[in-house]
């Protein structure tokens, strides 16, 4: 289906370090199928790598809302929270 295809293309772009394009694909996949948790997770990972911890945490929380058993999302959420806290302690 289209949402899966967009998510998959986002993965390819992510692996090519084309982060902006990957985020666009994940967002399009979400718009096609809002109940599909995987593109939220993938977009969250890109946002995390870009240092946008708040937006990453929103995506990880949405994943867990859709699928509470998605363990990688729970771990990623915890890590994003820790890294945001550490960043704030360093003053930037």
User: Which CATH number belongs to the domain containing residue 26 in this structure?
Assistant: 1.25.40.10
- In 3D space, the residue among 71, 74, 51, 50 whose CA is nearest the CA of residue 61 turns out to be 74
For the cut 80, the answer to whether the pLDDT of residue 11 exceeds it is yes
Contacts of 63 (CB under 8 A, 6+ apart): 37, 40, 41, 44, 70, 73
pTM: 0.94
DSSP secondary structure string, 11-49?
HHHHHTT-HHHHHHHHHHHHHH-TT-HHHHHHHHHHHHH
Q: What is the pLDDT of residue 67?
A: 98
| Tally of structural domains, the chain | 1
Where b means 16+ CB within 10 Å and e means fewer, 51-86 reads: ebbebbbbbbbbbbebbeebeebeebbeebeeebee
The proportion of the chain whose per-residue pLDDT surpasses 90, expressed as a percent, equals 93
| Mean per-residue pLDDT, 53-69 | 98
Longest dimension (CA), the chain: 45
Domain limits for position 66: 2-91
For the cut 80, the answer to whether the pLDDT of residue 75 exceeds it is yes
């Amino acid at each position: 289906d289209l949402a899966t295809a967009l998510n998959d293309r986002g993965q390819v772009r992510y692996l090519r370090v084309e982060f902006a394009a990957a985020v666009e694909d994940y967002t399009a996949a979400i718009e096609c199928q809002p109940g599909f948790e995987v593109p939220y997770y993938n977009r969250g990972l890109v946002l995390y790598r870009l240092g946008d911890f708040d937006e990453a945490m929103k995506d990880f929380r949405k994943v867990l809302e859709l699928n509470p058993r998605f363990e990688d999302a729970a771990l990623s959420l915890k890590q994003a929270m820790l890294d945001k806290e550490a960043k704030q302690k360093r003053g930037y």
